[in-house]
């Protein structure tokens, strides 16, 4: 698979690079970013953290705003940030032009409904196609972690819970915890997957927690001044599901913080250390 480099910037002794490639899973061209710490040029095979961004975002939001490169360079952690949906003139978006569905809002599911099924298979792209591309072209080990924000936090939880053994660490910032029971999730799951709500359970972290046998510790940070806290994110549902399943969840409600990247930048070091420790231990 051919990689076309889009940009390259030196950062904390390593390199932040963006690439374009043709995705066979999504049937379109995709761009992703990778941060390669300085150890990557010294022959080491390094663990990789996949970061999934939220609604309306691309790979650039996290890489430019989170401030993750400094500590990633110190820890020897590669970070990969895919886009949030398929892109291109041939890819259908929201018929009404809304920002919370379609382009920029792939929800990390495998769509089954037309006209979305041909392109919107972000789960398979994130879990299978992109890691295969990374492992073929970059000095990564077999150790993988996954994290994300909001819609991407939902994606990180679901990708890990649906694929035991695939990842060795999980975390999330302000995830959409119970998409079956919030407006964003109901809109996305209904249009991508159809009206049979029993099929939605396969893409809901709260439902998946009750069924998984793997017990990777999850770190979640949530701001208590988040405008989406009550209606969309529902961290209390995730906490209840984890408690019922005996699942090791650390949920931290951070006073005064909102949904922005100021919040993410404030706690990203804790998450990078959480992943580095887990990936080093396996």
Catalytic residues: 150, 226, 259
Measure the CA–CA gap between 135 and 233, rounded to whole angstroms: 33
Tokens 């975390």 -> residue: 171
Q: Nearest 5°: phi and psi at 118? A: -70, -30
Query: For residue 115, is the peptide bond before it cis, meaning its omega torsion is within 30 degrees of 0?
Result: yes
List the beta bridge partners of residue 250: 219
The answer to whether 61 and 53 are in contact (CB under 8 A) is yes
- Tell me how far the alpha carbon of residue 47 is from its chain's centroid: 16
């Amino acid at each position: 698979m051919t990689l076309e480099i889009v940009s390259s910037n030196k950062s904390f002794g390593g390199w932040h690079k963006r690439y374009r490639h043709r995705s066979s899973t999504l049937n379109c061209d995709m761009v992703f970013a990778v941060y390669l710490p300085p150890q990557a040029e010294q022959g080491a095979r390094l663990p990789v953290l996949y970061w999934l961004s939220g609604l309306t975002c691309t790979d650039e939001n996290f890489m430019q705003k989170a401030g993750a490169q400094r500590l990633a360079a110190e820890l020897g952690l590669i970070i990969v940030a895919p886009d949030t949906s398929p892109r291109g003139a041939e890819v259908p978006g929201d018929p009404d032009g809304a920002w919370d569905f379609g382009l920029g809002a792939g929800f990390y599911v495998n769509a089954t409904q037309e006209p979305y099924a041909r392109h919107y298979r972000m789960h398979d792209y994130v879990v299978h196609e992109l890691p295969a591309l990374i492992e073929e072209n970059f000095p990564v080990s077999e150790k993988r972690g996954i994290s994300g924000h909001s819609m991407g936090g939902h994606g990180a939880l679901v990708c890990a819970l649906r694929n035991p053994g695939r990842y060795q660490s999980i975390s999330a910032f302000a995830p959409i915890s119970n998409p079956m029971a919030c407006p964003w999730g109901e809109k996305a799951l209904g249009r991508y997957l159809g009206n049979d709500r029993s099929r939605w359970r396969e893409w809901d972290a709260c439902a998946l927690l009750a069924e998984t046998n793997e017990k990777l510790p999850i770190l979640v940070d949530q701001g208590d001044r988040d405008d989406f806290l009550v209606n969309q994110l529902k961290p209390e549902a995730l906490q209840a599901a984890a408690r019922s399943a005996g699942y090791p969840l650390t949920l931290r409600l951070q006073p005064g913080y909102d949904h922005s990247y100021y919040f993410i930048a404030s706690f990203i070091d804790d998450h990078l250390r959480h992943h580095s420790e887990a990936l080093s231990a396996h």
